[in-house]
Amino acid sequence: MSYIVGHPIKKPADFYGRHHQALRFFEIIGGTQAQSLSILGLRRAGKTSFLQYVAHENVMARYLPDPDNYVMVYMDMSSCKTPSEFYYRLLARLKRLLGEGQPISLLKKSSPDATKMYHVESLLCQYPERRVVLLLDEFDHLKTAAFDQDFLTELRAMTSVLDYELACVTASYWDLYQLGSHIGLPPTSPFYNIFYPTPLYLPGLKPSVAQALIREPAERAGYAVEAEDMRWIQQLAGSMPFFLQATASEWFQEKRRNGRPIPAKIASRLVANMSPYFAQWWRHFTACERDLLLSLARQEPVDQLPYDEIELKEAVRRLHHYGLLVRHGERFHINGAVGKLWIQLHAGKIVLNGRNNTAPLPPETINPVTLRQALVTHFDMEELRTLCFDLGIDFDILNGTGKGAKARDLVALLQRQGNLSSLVEAIRKERATVTLS
């Protein structure tokens, strides 16, 4: 089966939809003067795939009259632990993309822990005719690494230099004001002014595009897609591309094994498989957003929720932009039966704000050594990876390759953040009998 589930899409031929978003992207970065842009989407909404798509030379040639003047520099922020490491990686990629044979004599060789904004600017100043666009994926990572408000101030400064042309495109779940606030940047900071005022959201796909995404990979694999297949897959998955591909893959595998898939059986399996993604989303929602989704999942009246009209409208707007709600006539519904079923079955069990059925440990009684030992003893590597996912931490940024090293770095990271209690709650959720005090 040729569905791509989980991995970013690398070839434009395998990328479906997002024509409006791509057109808007190139209008903003390809105008008389390049402008910076924020792209917002849920985890698994396809942000990485979108950035890879717009950076492909064939796509650039389709949308830009002068694509050779552009340099798209993709950067995964989750691979950078410090600003110096970011500048070091950026400098290396710029050298490669701008051509190693070009003169760089003004630059002194720098190390990962000593590279500064100056080194990047010195290189960019030698290419004033090129428009450089930084595609900063996983920008939420700034919340968990050693980045502060000075880093954002430096990004803004680089986009304002007249000797070269640079724009920043960030991709994240949290909007820039939330991220800035988290690392101490005031809402009046001029950093926000360099970005186009309207973010670019990545919601679900249009019905015709969703149908093509279901049909074409199946037909390439030799499966005839019947109307019933199409109807059930769309009903179960909704319109988000990751869930469409996961559901279609599950559906046709079941069809190959047993001839006729049972929708309820497929839904139950998908709820279990997709639970880590839904759980992570749920923890990031506001109380109003969670209560709104619960009411819709239970088919209860929304107007009886204890929120004023403005707050409810804002919750609907955000969830609609992110693709979790879809409009049918004048009413909004949860996007996909699997998501709705997960909310009905599991949303109430998710630990929120340090509260669950077990009393939290006081911060002074949490022993980091005990937590590390619990992780090593009671979790295998894949379970540790899932635990990080539930905590909103990229497993791959943890130092080391073995389970012991990963566990040690996870505890150290949360200790630096003053958030060991969240790890305690996550361990208790998965291993209720483990003693942590």
Per-residue pLDDT 10s for the chain (437 aa) are 588 887 889 999 999 999 999 999 999 999 888 899 999 999 889 999 999 999 999 999 999 999 999 999 999 999 898 999 999 999 999 999 988 544 444 445 566 677 899 999 999 999 999 999 999 999 999 887 688 889 999 999 999 998 999 999 999 999 999 888 888 888 899 999 999 999 999 999 999 999 999 999 999 988 889 999 999 999 999 999 999 999 999 999 998 888 888 999 999 999 998 898 899 899 889 889 999 999 999 999 898 888 989 999 999 999 999 999 999 888 999 999 999 999 999 887 776 654 443 344 444 457 888 888 888 888 888 888 888 888 878 787 888 778 888 888 888 888 877 778 888 888 887 776 677 75
Same domain, 341 and 378: no
d(CA 408, CA 78): 18
Which tokens hold the place of 88? 């070091």
Select from 292, 318, 349 the last residue of a domain. 349
Which tokens hold the place of 84? 């110096």
Place of tokens 């409208």: 313
User: What's the pTM?
Assistant: 0.78
Same domain, 99 and 196: yes
Place of tokens 């019933």: 228
We report the CATH number of the domain holding residue 159 as 3.40.50.300
Does any domain span residue 1? no
Same domain, 49 and 164: yes
Same domain, 397 and 255: no
Does any domain span residue 338? yes
Select from 201, 236, 254 the last residue of a domain. 201
3-state helix, strand, coil in the chain (%, to 5): 55, 10, 35
Could you give the C-alpha distances from 321 to 161, 200, 314, 316, in angstroms and in order? 33, 9, 11, 8
Does any domain span residue 383? yes
Does any domain span residue 435? no
d(CA 212, CA 306): 41
Same domain, 103 and 230: no
Does any domain span residue 12? no
Residue type (1 letter), 163? D
Judge contact between 354 and 240, C-beta under 8 A: no
Same domain, 282 and 331: yes
Same domain, 329 and 389: no
Could you give the C-alpha distances from 274 to 93, 266, 281, in angstroms and in order? 35, 12, 11
Does any domain span residue 7? no
Same domain, 220 and 368: no
Q: In what order do the strands lie in the sheet with 200-201?
A: 70-76, 131-137, 165-172, 37-40, 200-201
Question: What is the DSSP track for 39-84?
Answer: EE--TTSSHHHHHHHHTSHHHHHHH-S-GGGEEEEEEEGGG-SSHH
Judge contact between 271 and 347, C-beta under 8 A: no
Same domain, 55 and 119: yes
Same domain, 338 and 376: no
Same domain, 211 and 242: yes
What's the number of domains the chain is made of?
A: 3
- For the four alpha carbons of 56, 58, 62 and 66, in that order, the dihedral sign comes to positive
Rounded to the nearest 10 degrees, how much is the dihedral formed by the CA atoms of 44, 274, 262, 297? -90
Select from 326, 349, 372 the last residue of a domain. 349
Does any domain span residue 279? yes
Same domain, 211 and 146: no
DSSP collapsed to 3 states, 231-245: HHHHHHHCCCHHHHH
403: domain range?
363-430
Helix axes 263-284, 227-237, angle to 10 degrees: 30
d(CA 283, CA 368): 24
